[in-house]
Amino acid sequence: MKFDTTPFLSPARGATCHNRAWAIEFATLDLDCRPFLMMVADIYVDARLPLSVTVSVAMPEDVVGALERLVHRSGKPEEIWIDHDLGHGRAALRTWAEQRRISIVYGSRPRTKALTEPLVRDLGAFLHGKRFSSLIELGHDIERWRQSYGAADHTVPNDNQ
């Protein structure tokens, strides 16, 4: 099992097919209750697709649980890219990844942000001006966005060219 810090999109690291590499991004939404979200995106060279978005009022503590549900639904990636130190959750993530033979790649924040920020920006624009009576309602709206984002053509330039 490897846990490395090599640059994410070097020619050797480019994700050339779907479900090869996922990136995890955490963000705080600019809404009244300031909910946190954990977005997992498929970092395919030509299209970055949001696979899962978990919303909570506190930073998602159960990263492993969210990833396990996603692997069960979508299959497992070869690598998961993350730039956050999960503190005590890092050991649990490492154990989980080793059991599933998934490499965890820790990298620099600016590089992961470049991969996931367009998704977070698009989600923010989708939610702009909306009001939600509960986190469940917010979660349902985010899921509608995620499904419509996957159905739309969001092709991005190939970073390896």
* pLDDT digit string, tens, across residues 97-144: 999 999 998 876 556 667 788 888 899 899 888 888 888 999 999 999
Say whether 57 sits in a helix, a strand or coil: coil
pTM of the model: 0.76
Contact 148/53 with Cβ under 8 angstroms? no
Backbone angles phi, psi at 35, to 5 degrees: -70, 150
Q: What confidence tier does 27 reach under pLDDT thresholds 50, 70, 90?
A: confident
Residue 56 β-bridge partners: 36
